[in-house]
Amino acid sequence: MVFGRSGSGPYLTLESNDGSFDDLVTVKTGGRYKIAVTDVIRNNLESWMKNPYFETIRDQPLDLAIVARIIPKRMRSQDIDNLAKVVLDALKKKEGDPRFLFHDDSQIVRLIVWKIKRQEQEGWNTDSLTISFRIHDDKKQMVLVEPETM
């Protein structure tokens, strides 16, 4: 099941995922933005990360996919490793905060991070972020798919 506000396509998630979220978020990773963006992601994903089903997977090794649709002029300057770090920081447990997907990013066994030029819609900021995950399974490949129905 997909939760959130969908940005401009394509909408891609991890095949056979246990959960996915899509939201209109501009991920900026520069020093002055990092904490603010982490907080925005946590706030926007709050109801998703409080899903009772996630209690069964919070201690499990995970496969994680991050797809960021960003403005074309930032394609060259947005470092993909910094993008991943901001999202991982937003998803991991923070002392006293019930909004988390996993306890520590050491639980992530495999990670796909893809930045895509967003589809421009004049007058609208359509930067968006899709996060999907599943319990790690060595027998499954990491494949991004566009779901047939949303």
Beta strands in 17-123 (DSSP E): 19-23, 62-70, 108-117
Q: Which tens digits make up the pLDDT trace of 32-85?
A: 778 888 888 888 888 888 888 888 999 999 999 999 988 888 788 888 998 999
Residue 96, pLDDT > 60, answer: yes
Q: What average pLDDT does this structure show over 13-39? A: 84
Rounded (10°) CA dihedral 138, 143, 149, 150:
90
Instruction: Average the pLDDT over 97-112 and give the result.
Output: 94
Q: What is the residue whose two structure tokens read 């319990």?
A: 135
Domains defined for the chain, CATH in brackets: 2-145 (3.30.1330.70)
Residue with the bigger pLDDT between 29 and 144: it is 144
* Residue 1 pLDDT greater than 50, yes or no: no
* Contact by Cβ (8 Å): 111, 66: yes
Evaluate whether 101 touches 91 at the Cβ level (below 8 Å). yes
